[in-house]
Amino acid sequence: MDDFDVLPLHRNKHFTKQCCDLINSEWPRSETARLYSLENSCDTLPTSLVLVKNDGNNCKTVIGHLKLTPIPSMPDSVFVETVVIKTNQRGLGLGKHLMYKSEEYIKTLGLKTVYLSTIDKKEFYLKLGYVGCQSISIYGSFSSAVNKLTTNIPPPPSKKQYMKKKLIPKIKINVRYQNCQSSLKTIARSLRNRRLLDRTRDRLNKKN
């Protein structure tokens, strides 16, 4: 995957138009509205990540996108949406690559759990370690207030399946621990050398 990069869109704004066209090819929408949504990308969420292919001669093409959206009721979690890979690039493992890279990015934000919803890609996400879960809201307190007012109204049927994945944080090895390990290895080598020296001395003593 050396020819591919996953980049935050707000730090690479020259890809915005390509990204807009890619998403609209899957979910048609007003270009103005789509561009407005993409321009909200920032370091602190929401964040649009783009999968870019290096075609050579410094020519790069956007072939994938996903959006990281905050969940107001769960500040240590994030919702992944608008996941798309360009049609002629599907089946090459690029969706998996985009998801793994996005999880690495999410870890840098200190977030612990990833949520998403899907209609027909459940098997794909299961292979990436996601499990089924209850539906969640990403719209904050206003949505909660509305839900309380409509408790007795049954929700409309939905084909969406919600899924989540707990992220394993990267383990930082303490420098002191590393030094300790190095010291133990040095001691072990010294002991081995000492044993060899003692055996050699014993053999010489027996000969004498």
Quick one: which of 90, 91, 108 has its CA closest to 47? Answer: 108
Q: How far apart (Å, rounded) are the C-alpha atoms in residues 49 and 98? A: 9
pTM (two decimals)? 0.76
Q: What pLDDT is recorded for position 181?
A: 67
Residues of the chain with pLDDT > 70: what percent?
Answer: 82
- The answer on 179 and 156 residing in a single domain is no
pLDDT digits (tens, 9 = 90+) for 96-153: 999 999 999 999 999 999 999 999 999 999 999 999 999 999 986 544 444 444 455 6
User: Do 116 and 162 touch, CB atoms closer than 8 A?
Assistant: yes
Domain count, the chain: 2
- The answer on 129 and 56 residing in a single domain is yes
Identify the H or E element spanning 140.
Answer: helix 140-149
Structural domain boundaries, residue 191: 174-208
Does the pLDDT value for residue 177 go beyond 50? Answer: yes
CATH label of the domain that carries residue 53: 3.40.630.30
User: Do 82 and 121 touch, CB atoms closer than 8 A?
Assistant: no
Burial class (CB in 10 A: 0-12, 13-18, 19+), 185: exposed
- The answer on 160 and 83 residing in a single domain is yes
Does the pLDDT value for residue 198 go beyond 80? Answer: no
Q: What pLDDT is recorded for position 158?
A: 75
Q: What pLDDT is recorded for position 194?
A: 74
- The answer on 178 and 96 residing in a single domain is no
Q: What pLDDT is recorded for position 37?
A: 96
Which residue did the predictor score with more confidence, 205 or 160? 160
Q: What pLDDT is recorded for position 142?
A: 43
- Cβ neighbours of residue 114 under 8 Å, at least 6 residues apart? 77, 78, 79, 80, 103, 106, 130, 164, 165, 167
- The answer on 185 and 141 residing in a single domain is no
pLDDT digits (tens, 9 = 90+) for 60-103: 999 999 999 999 999 999 999 999 999 999 999 999 999 999 99
- The answer on 114 and 75 residing in a single domain is yes
Q: What is the mean pLDDT of the chain?
A: 87
- The answer on 130 and 111 residing in a single domain is yes
